[in-house]
Chain A
């Protein structure tokens, strides 16, 4: 372990955490901890606590552990030991310094990627344990500032970035106009009742990357899809509340999302390239509301592009020739097994592909997901240090272009590339498809 590490770990002071800690009393701390650990958990939690033998087999699975020279404090079991076990041992009577460290571990030293659970002989889900710690932090009001702000935004606007309702529609209309450079009659149909598909995105798209909406519209138009986008809240499929343990807001976001689709009477929802939003809609947000599964089918962009290409609705003019590699986002790969489909799209659109190692469900996480990047600028340096293993993995590919079909991964990987001076460009699968596709409208039978 590097001697400076302890300092570095604590260097980022987060006002929301500090002010939150100031407000707390020891009674409140133990009340919340005991309530969450004893009233909100069940057999699964007890099994995890009772079964973990602290054998450390999961340690090498964690990119935080690997990036920090195998510092034992970063092993998955140690993260639980430093948080939940201690809370249980002390019956919730823990200090503010303990909590400051617990917030940090749960929000910045684990991106709830679930890689470790694949290596645990008992399949213990450390991500679940860390999310419980985050739930405690949420109730104690010591969640880091920037991610809390995204949840605040969700709670008011039902989108993650305070995108105002008029800005959203205006952006869609502006992208529609721009898209008419490709196809003069291109539309982004708003609120089209009975369309087959509702297309949904995450708030960073209208805010910073509106060009992605333009690309999606061109792809939809060329493929001849009967699609729509909602003008009203419910368009954002992201869910940061899921990552701060604000389960109630998380449920409200998921309800708004699915009811928006149900009101439009669409058959299915196609979503852009986002990993966590996918997890929220097919696994977490729906369950909060007593829906065992997504009540309206949610199709990730990877599945959708694959469908368009194999059905011949989109054809490739000329394959992308630069050397590319592919990052498997945990939430769509480990979580949903879409990695082979992603490879098929790469094979159909790119001529020079190199795997990174490890890959598919064993891929190392980008280090940004699970809400880590959303904790914001105060933690960027630390995030870069915790991403060393990922940087080494990327460098070893020798690829010029890194395809990452997930927004968080995308931003996180861009930071890594910049920080470690890797000469790579990050692209979405949609970018590659847009660049290589034939810009002509699909007509059945042609």
Chain B
């Protein structure tokens, strides 16, 4: 088990789909995921929820994950839940810690299917107790099914914020107000980007439009074109101040604010291995440089799903399958399922991605996120403000030196929360493009590991 043909990191749509194809074709596959059950972000907890009223409230797309999860459970891949990968060496030695302790796996190939993270959206007061992300709130909905007892305020932009509001209402919760930070884009331009995809994806578009309509109807208040968003309070959240599209400054009182500004590929794993990345202006995010199979600049590592660039769950499934087909090819195997061909996967992937340029355009994050005001905390772990970083920037060069001098990115989140903002501040200070600025170098471990879990590896060395 410690020397499989293929190690897959992540049991979301991409990882599971790849595992099914690879394991059915006879490869020895190990799948590691830090969550207790398979499903990834979109299908979190689906085995427990499907068929219940909670599952119905979460929606058909959510429940549809059950089939994939079942197929994954039965495909023959070895699955280690509640296990985190915290280091992958360039020679593929992979360190994992879970219920079985700490182990080192040395696979022939690795597929990274670690999904997305929410885009950090620094705003004044975002570290106050009472401010949380929509993603975190949605995890609560999916797991213990806890619905906030009071009506919530949501501020942000992106499909996930809309989906959450929709799911919350269906589960009996209430939206006190929705502060829409989506910059207004001329609908015609956005639709032109969608092109013919509009026709094929009219169902998706209609669903999105209906969520919007529902929101306008059900939310206590709906405020479009919000800017200068600020969470107010001293110890914990007391209210929110913002500027409306018309330029009026308004304030509301609340003890709970959910924020969300879209999602980004999880790049920590990829970058720790030194794999090449590039700036994707359309998605306003870095993404790995990949070929059409998901192969990256490291010869034995492939990347699939939202970690490869945001494409959504449907695309994640097909990217996972394509990467698996490539892996089969490389290891001299063929897919067991009829119809599991490159051509079919590519057609399906193209269809799944058709609406993406439209979504990217409509939900493009507002510029403010990349240029927060001086008082805003950027690095939450070290409580560094924009001001501190700008001052340091006046002297030093590049993100790694900035890190050394300010400690930005040195805390437990390892730069996941501040890396992109810091890169944007550097680009602005030096008049460069994001494509010319590299984010922080990633230091291992990828995820914090307890001292005793690392020490355990020394005992193992002694006994073997």
| A, B bound | no
